[in-house]
Structure 1
Amino acid sequence: MSIKLEELLKLPSLREAKVVAGKEGLAKLVSSISVLEYTEVDSLKEDLFNNDEFYGSEIVISALIMIKDDVEAQCRTIEHLHKVGEIGLILYYVGVFLPKIEERVIRLADRLGFTLIVMPEKEMSLRYSEVIYEVIEAIVKNDLASTSFVSEMVEQISGVPLQQRNMDTVLKILADRTRSSLVLANKNNQVIHAVTWPRTSTMDIFRTVEQYKDMVIDAVYREERDSLQPLFISKKVIAQEGIASMNLYIIKEKDSFERETAIQLAEVVQVFINLWGKHYDEISTAELMKAIMNDESVKMRRLANILNIDVSSIQMMWLMEVDNNFGAEKQLQKVREFIRQNFHVSLIDFYHQTLVILLDNSAIQEDSFQSANRLLDCLKEDEQTFTITICQNMNNTTDVQQAYLTCSEYTKMAKIIYPYKKIFSLQEINFAADCYHLINGGELAIDKALQPLSPIMEQANQQAEDLLSTLSVYLLEGNSRFQETADILYLHKNTIKYRIQRLAEILQYPVTKTPEIFQLYKAVAVYRMLTQLKEQ
Structure 2
Amino acid sequence: MKLSELLSLPIFKGTALLAGKQGIEREVNTVNMMDAPDIIHFLKKNELLVTTAFHFKDDLDSLLQLIKEMEKQGCSGLGIKTKRFLNEIPEAAISFANELQFPLLELPLQTSLGDIINKSLSYILDIRTNELHNAMKAHQQFSKLIISGQGVHKILESLSSLIRLPVILLDHHFRPTANDNYDTSLFKQLETLLTSEHHFQLSKTTMSTFSLTRDRETITLFPVHTHRQSSYLCVLGFIPLSNRSTILTVEQATNVIAFELMKENALKQNTRRLQNEFFTNFINGSFSTNEEVISRGREFGLVNEQRYVCAVGRLDNKEKHISFIQYQSEQELIYDTIESELQLFHQKIHLFTLDHSYILLMQIKDSWKDIEQSFLSLLKVIQTKIAAHFQEDISFGISNYAQQFLHIPISYKEATDTLYYGGMSGRKKFIEMYQPKGVPEILRLVPYDQLKKFYTDTFQAFANEPKKDHELLLQTLSVYLETHCELAETAKRLYVHRNTVIYRLEKCEEIIGRSVKDADETLRLRLAFRIKALIQGNNQLS
Structure with larger Rg:
2
TM-score w.r.t. the length of structure 1 is 0.29
TM-score w.r.t. the length of structure 2 is 0.28
